[in-house]
Structure formats: structure tokens, C-alpha cells
């Protein structure tokens, strides 16, 4: 029994060592998620080849003047990179701006509202690998629909979803260019220029 366990530990150590170590900004691919009205891109997940066992990190980009659906899941930490708005957490309104951090507790109903003329970009950090291992991974939707006010954005989103293959996706820079906002027509390290300017010296 102990020899078998030792062998498993050796194999596991080799798997950890062989796991992916980095993802370049230009390699981040975003997919339009119509259920929640958001562009979604994985940054550190097992599907990308990382051997992360506890947490994973995703990128979310919401269109200007929109809101997500109301939903709940296990805990999450959300770091705002650009755009302004507010989130409703179990009925409590919390306003946010670039550089702010939100903690969404387990089972908290929440909905994100974007009030800026530019898209809102955020990083979401969640313990999904651990929850999946424990059989506790779940997300529950309240039943409402996302709101997207900008008609030109709806056309752009539909255009991407029909003309781009699911595996190819879109880069954050390409998504940013779908908005007819001059500040978003250029990018830094693959992300909208305004995000880099607003976040500043954040790590």
C-alpha cells in the first residue's frame, strides 16, 4: 500500500512539474456567453494546461451600459480593471471603479451593472478546481435576462459568434475594437488601452 502511494506521489509531482507555467496576453481567447451577456476568457485553468488544483482565474468583459443576469455560486473574488458600475449582492448595492475588489460570498445572489461608456473588464478568481474535486461546483440562475442597450454592440457580438469558430475565439484587443470608442481602438499587451491606463501600477 505504501509503495503504491509513493508511486502515486511521484506521478503527481511529475504532472505538476509538466503543467503550463504562463499564458501570454496575446494568447487569451474570449468567447461570447449569451446567458450572462459577457465576453469570457480563461486565464489560468486546467483546460489551458495549467495544473492548478485550488483556484482558477478568468477574464470578463461586459458591454457598456449593460447588466448581467442574477446568479449565485460558490465564493469568488472580482478585481475591476476598467469601466465603472455597481453590483447588487443580496440586495446591497456596491459601486465600483478600476482598482476595486469585490468579494462575492458563497450562495450570494448577485448581478453586475455597467454604467460607463466603455466596457468593464474584470478578473474573477474562483476555487472551481477544489469545488469540482469535492463535488460542490454549481451555479444557479435566478431566471432574468442580461441587458445590452447598445444595438451596435448586439450586432458585433452576433457577428463574432457566427463567423468565429468556438475554438478560435477572440482576443481582448479584438473585442475592444468592436466598440466605436477611439480610446479603445488601440491596445497594450493585448488588452484595451484604457484598462492599462486606469489600473496603473497595480500588480
Tens digits of per-residue pLDDT, 115-146?
A: 999 999 999 999 999 998 898 878 888 989 89
Distance CA 195, CA 61 (A): 11
Which of 22-36, 54-68, 146-160, 167-181 has the highest average model confidence (pLDDT)? 54-68
Q: Any idea which of 99-103, 116-120, 169-173 has the lowest mean pLDDT?
A: 169-173
* For the chain, counts of helices (H) and of strands (E): 5, 15
pLDDT band at 1 (very low <50, low <70, confident <90, very high): confident
Distance CA 79, CA 94 (A): 13
Is residue 1 one of the residues assigned to a domain? no
| Res. 186: pLDDT tops 70 | no
CB 59 within 8 A of CB 126: no
Is residue 13 one of the residues assigned to a domain? no
Is residue 166 one of the residues assigned to a domain? yes
Domain count along the chain: 1
Query: 82 is written with which cell numbers?
Result: 476598467
Is residue 80 one of the residues assigned to a domain? yes
Is residue 57 one of the residues assigned to a domain? yes
| Res. 8: pLDDT tops 90 | yes
Distance CA 19, CA 57 (A): 16
Is residue 85 one of the residues assigned to a domain? yes
CATH of the domain at 40: 2.60.120.10
Residue 81 structural domain: 24-199
Query: 69 is written with which cell numbers?
Result: 443576469
Average pLDDT of the residues in 148-166: 43
Report the predicted TM-score, pTM, of the whole model to 2 decimal places.
Answer: 0.74
Is residue 149 one of the residues assigned to a domain? yes
Q: What is the pLDDT of residue 126?
A: 96
Q: What is the pLDDT of residue 58?
A: 96
Is residue 16 one of the residues assigned to a domain? no
| Res. 176: pLDDT tops 80 | no
Q: What is the pLDDT of residue 149?
A: 60
Q: What is the pLDDT of residue 174?
A: 52
Q: What is the pLDDT of residue 124?
A: 97
Q: What is the pLDDT of residue 136?
A: 83
Average pLDDT of the residues in 176-201: 42
| Res. 169: pLDDT tops 80 | no
Q: What is the pLDDT of residue 115?
A: 96
Amino acid at each position: 500500500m505504501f509503495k503504491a502511494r509513493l508511486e502515486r506521489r511521484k506521478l503527481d509531482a511529475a504532472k505538476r512539474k509538466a503543467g503550463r507555467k504562463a499564458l501570454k496576453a496575446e494568447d487569451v481567447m474570449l468567447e461570447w456567453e449569451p446567458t450572462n451577456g459577457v465576453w469570457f476568457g480563461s486565464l489560468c485553468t486546467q483546460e489551458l494546461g495549467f495544473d492548478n488544483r485550488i483556484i482558477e482565474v478568468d477574464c470578463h468583459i461586459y458591454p457598456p451600459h449593460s447588466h448581467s443576469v442574477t446568479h449565485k455560486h460558490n465564493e469568488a473574488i472580482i478585481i475591476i480593471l476598467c469601466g465603472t458600475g455597481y453590483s447588487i449582492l443580496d440586495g446591497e448595492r456596491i459601486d465600483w471603479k478600476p482598482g476595486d475588489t469585490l468579494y462575492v460570498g458563497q450562495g450570494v445572489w448577485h448581478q453586475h451593472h455597467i454604467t460607463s461608456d466603455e466596457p468593464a473588464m474584470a478578473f474573477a478568481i474562483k476555487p472551481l478546481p477544489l469545488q469540482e474535486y469535492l463535488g460542490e461546483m454549481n451555479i444557479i440562475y435566478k431566471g432574468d435576462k442580461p441587458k445590452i442597450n447598445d444595438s451596435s454592440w448586439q450586432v458585433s457580438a452576433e457577428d463574432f459568434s457566427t463567423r468565429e469558430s468556438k475554438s478560435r475565439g477572440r482576443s481582448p484587443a479584438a473585442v475592444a475594437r468592436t466598440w466605436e470608442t477611439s480610446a479603445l481602438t488601440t491596445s497594450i499587451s493585448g488588452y484595451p488601452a484604457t484598462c492599462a491606463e486606469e489600473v496603473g501600477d497595480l500588480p
